[in-house]
Homo-oligomer: A and B are copies of this chain.
Amino acid sequence: MRWTPQRRTVIEVLAASSGHVSSAELIERCRARDPQTIPSTVYRTLDALEQLGLVRHGHGADGREEFHVGPDTEHGHLYCADCGARSEIRAAEADALVTAFRAADGFEVDLAHVTVVGRCASCAARHAAG
């Protein structure tokens, strides 16, 4: 793998972005460092990094790509369709999810890739009430 200035930029930005980043955000931040940044290069760099296991991508509620920067515990996401709140899927739920599919189908869930959409507790309550 070649160590090019463009890749350095992407990796520096990723390192500075703990947690999750959308591709658009990422490109924006790369441009802040180097206005010459070309989107396709960023996407291709991300692909390369993903093959190396340095980042993982998932899809947000709207289906757009989102990147998790490692080394992070693998986790999925919850998204409330009402209020837009986002949170991480915690160990207990993650376990239930992964185990259920493994037991039923032998299907190995890729947790990092999962975004579960629904209604968060407070929105569910509000909805039930009103």
Report which of B62, B65, B80, B107 forms a contact with A121, defined as CB distance below 8 A. B107
* Contact mask for chain A residues 85-126; partner B; CB cutoff 8 A; 1 contact, 0 none: 001001011001101110011111110011011111100110
- Does A64 belong to the interface (CB within 8 Å)? yes
A123 to B90, CA, bound (A): 26
Inter-chain CA distance A81–B58, complex, in Å, is: 12
CB within 8 Å for A119 and B124 given contacts A64-B63, A97-B97 = no
Interface string of A76-87 (1 = CB under 8 A from B): 001011000001
Knowing A63-B63, A64-B63 touch, does A92 contact B113 (C-beta < 8 A)? Answer: no
Give complex CA distance A92, B103 in Å. Answer: 10
Which residue from B97, B101, B119 sits with its C-beta under 8 Å from A110? Answer: B119
Q: Is A59 an interface residue (CB 8 A)?
A: yes
Determine which residue in A63, A87, A106, A114 has the highest number of CB atoms from chain B within 10 A of its CB, and name it: A63
A80 to B113 Cα, complex, angstroms: 12
Query: Can you add 14 more A-B contacts, CB < 8 Å, to A97-B100, A110-B118, A114-B117?
Result: A59-B59, A59-B62, A59-B63, A63-B65, A87-B105, A90-B104, A92-B104, A96-B100, A101-B118, A105-B120, A106-B121, A107-B116, A109-B116, A113-B116
